Amino acid sequence: MTDTANPANVHEDGTPERLEIDTIRTLSMDAVQAANSGHPGTPMALAPVGHTLWTKFLRYDPAQANWPNRDRFVLSVGHASMLLYSLLHLAGVKQPDGAPAVSLDDIKAFRQLGSKTPGHPEYSHTVGVETTTGPLGQGCGNSVGMAIAERWMAARYNKPGFTLFDHDVYSLCGDGDMMEGVASEAASLAGHLKLSNLCWIYDSNQISIEGDTDLAFDEDVGKRFEAYGWHVIHVDDANDVAALTKAFEEFRATSDKPTLIIVKSVIGWGSPRAGSEKAHGEALGEDNVRLTKEAYGWPADKSFYVPEGVQQRFEQAVAGRGVPLREAWEATLQKYRTDHADLAKEVDAIINGTLPDGWDAEIPTFEADAKGLASRDAGGKVLNAIAKTMPWLIGGSADLAPSTKTDIKGEASFSASDYAGRNFHFGVREHAMGSVAVGMALSGLRSYGSTFLVFLDYMRPPVRLSALMELGTTWIFTHDSIGVGEDGPTHQPIEMLAMMRATPGLDMFRPGDANEVAAAWRAIVETPKQPAALVLSRQALPTLDRSKYASADGVKQGGYVLADSAMENGGTPDVILLATGSEVGLAIEAHEKLVAEGVKSRVVSMPSWYRYEKQSDAYKESVLPKAITARVAIEMAGEIGWDRYVGLAGKTITMSTFGASAPIAKLADKFGFTADNVVKVAKSVMAA
């Protein structure tokens, strides 16, 4: 516990540096107090860390916050958002129109509706926020992805005399991050890849919401990271600016491994609640704020006080270093466009989020084939076709590329000895894979990660955050249903489709044949700010005869009329069969049986509910006329959600239990996924 009775123990001197640090602390205290909500203690403790990094090391131009070669600062401890907002304000970070990214009024509106200062930092909502953080460990994983992206772009685009990419990535972490498994997974991968451009600053204050971290956590984190292959530096006092400076210099001099700087701090520094969990997740209280300011030697009667000269000095320290670097970089890029024109086009496309000419020229069209192929196999073929013309489409799998078919043929693996490789081996680390892929996308790359659909549970947070941030990451999930057969219920996803469909902004495709896979990939690549999940089968699916059935281009609308005997013969359908993925072929088989019996049947393929819901009412009426209530939905997954499309009079052939271990044909019989059963159910809804 800090002795606040003697101001000299806290406010050590009256230097401009100390004044700027205390400005960060008091802005953070005041904002949380005004909102009566938030986390004041960590910003108060880490103000010297943030100040030292930003004013002495961070290569950043406040007027051009999206400069591609800027250093990245990730606040993985997102609850300490006021630290970042104070830094952005004092650094004078600007929006594209020149307005402050975070004004003093924005700080006063902390955690209020519509403010630029939400409770946790949100990417694209506030200029200068590099990623959305809050769920602990995610920022750590994102920072590894950012460091990987820098290494890949440097390996591909840097040429003699032209250094376009050489930035560093800093992530501020806490005890909670170190407890979360995703941070450990990401750290292990970073050490294996020797990402020497990556620096994590670990705020070891030994406080969690419940109290002292000894309640659940007492390991030697430094030794753990040494085992991961990291360089570990210890700073015993967060207020020791000289030691912090030396630590950052040591990081910059380390060229063969990532760096962890372990900083001992006192949460709520200088307050009566210093060193207590009471300083973590609630406002200090008016009396404690006043006492803390007195301990700092600060005017106790002033709130949101920025002393004269503080903001100007801080901004000049950051801009004085960053502006010349950014200007030199732009001059280098301009000359690069002449000397390396083809590569420059790629760089510009990455920066601007555009597509190369003819990016889809190699995408195959698949001929009708009753035997067909697994949609995962079709997915691999289409992925490779796009990869030929779009080199920054890169990614890999959680040790499953031979099964998910996501290797880019003829390309090397990304490794510590070859940062130009395009095939990523994330290991059995689904959670880290997701967070890393998000970090890569935040750097402009079109990243993808793949695993079996049932393992989505291991990586749900980054998938959700990709949707929240509107990032063009592609999640490739194979082995999508009980169709995996003998592997049994542990590997047969039932609830995953409903979970993804419930995620706002996530475009999930479950294509029904190879040509729907190709159409889905086209739609995915054409929407660079839209995260997408591509859900693919292990078992072979018949490739439909598109001269007989509708074009797969209907995938872009999310749902479309695939087959319709009523349309062919005039009139309206008697029954509508709706399906996705492997069940589309089953619906077609049942449809042909019904047609042979004189039933006017329609089949609607619905690979993307998300896209279908964005269509006009007129389009949706043309696909699913309200007057036709005899409807059957067929999907080897849970029923939830299908009621929207089948209505009260319709029925579903779906899963209400987990699966079983058996050959797929036996499972189809057991759970009703046969053409005869679909016909039976269709007749029952027609008769109702």
Q: Which residues are catalytic?
A: 430
Which residue from 231, 381, 315 is spatially nearest to 54, judged by alpha carbons?
A: 315
Cβ(464)–Cβ(503) below 8 Å: yes
Question: Do 156 and 111 touch, CB atoms closer than 8 A?
Answer: no
Q: Which residue, chain included where needed, has tokens 């772009």? A: 153
* Alpha carbons 115 and 597: distance in angstroms, whole number: 62
As a whole number of angstroms, the distance between CA 261 and CA 252 comes to 12
Which region, left, alpha or beta, applies to residue 237 given φ > 0 means left and ψ of -120 to 50 means alpha? Answer: beta
Q: Nearest Cα to 636, choosing from 451, 515, 492? A: 492
Query: For residues 182 and 461, is the Cβ–Cβ distance under 8 A?
Result: yes
Q: Give the CB-side neighbour count of residue 515, counting CA atoms within 13 A.
A: 21
Angle between helices 310-339 and 81-90 (to 10 degrees): 80
What are the beta bridge partners of residue 396?
Answer: 424, 449
Query: How do beta strands 631-638 and 651-655 pair?
Result: parallel
Tokens of 82: 């006021």
What is the rounded CA–CA span in Å between residue 342 and residue 389?
12
Looking at 59-179, list the stretches that DSSP marks H as alpha helix, in order from N- to C-terminal side.
81-90, 104-108, 138-157, 175-179
Buried b (16+ CB within 10 A) or exposed e, 602-632: bbbbbbbbbbbeebeeeebeebbeeebbbbb
∠228-232-235 over CA atoms, to 5°? 150
Cβ–Cβ contacts within 10 Å for residue 649, how many? 11
Report how far residue 19's alpha carbon sits from residue 382's, in angstroms, rounded to the nearest whole number. 58
Alpha carbon distance 317, 322 (integer Å): 9
Residue ranges of E strands in 143-284: 169-174, 198-204, 207-208, 211-212, 231-235, 259-264
Q: How far apart are CA 286 and CA 610, in angstroms?
A: 48
Cα separation, 529 vs 148, in Å, equals: 20
DSSP 8-state symbol, 367: P
Structural tokens at position 293: 């300011």
3-state secondary structure of 479: coil
How far is Cα 117 from Cα 126, in angstroms, rounded to an integer? 7
DSSP assignment letter at 287: H
Question: What is the spatial distance between Cα 280 and Cα 271, in angstroms, rounded to a whole number?
Answer: 12
